[in-house]
Amino acid sequence: MASDRAIRVMIVDDHAVVRSGIRFSLLAFDDLQLVAEAENGEEALALCGQLCNTEALPDVILMDMLMPGMDGVATTQAILDHYPEVQVIALTSFDTGSLVQGALQAGAIGYLLKDAAIDELAQAIRAANAGRATLAPAAARALAEARPEPGHELTDREREVLALVVEGFSNLQIARTLGISPATARFHVSTILSKLGAANRAEAAALAVKHGLIP
The per-residue pLDDT for 148 is 64
Domain extent, residue 69, equals: 7-146
* Domain co-membership, 171 together with 137: no
Helix, strand or coil, per DSSP, at residue 4: coil
Residue 1 lies in a domain: no
Which whole-number Å values give the CA distances from 199 to 17, 73, 173, 183, in the listed order?
A: 51, 33, 21, 20
pLDDT value, residue 44: 97
- Do 42 and 132 fall within a single domain? yes
Q: Does 173 lie in the same domain as 201?
A: yes
Quick one: which H or E segment has residue 47? helix 41-53
Find how far residue 100's CA is from the centre of its chain. Answer: 6
Residue closest to 91 by CA, chosen among 49, 120, 51, 132: 120
Q: pTM for this one?
A: 0.69
Same-domain pairing of 25 and 122: yes
Question: What phi and psi, each to the nearest 5 degrees, are found at residue 146?
Answer: -80, -20
Strands 7-12 and 32-38: parallel
Last residue of a domain, one of 100, 116, 146: 146
Same domain, 44 and 103: yes
179 and 126 belong to one structural domain: no
The pLDDT tens digits along the chain (215 residues) read 445 799 999 999 999 999 999 999 999 999 999 999 999 999 999 999 999 988 899 999 999 999 999 999 999 999 999 999 999 999 999 878 888 888 998 999 999 999 999 999 999 999 999 999 999 988 888 877 766 667 778 899 999 999 999 999 999 999 999 999 999 999 999 999 988 888 899 989 988 888 888 87
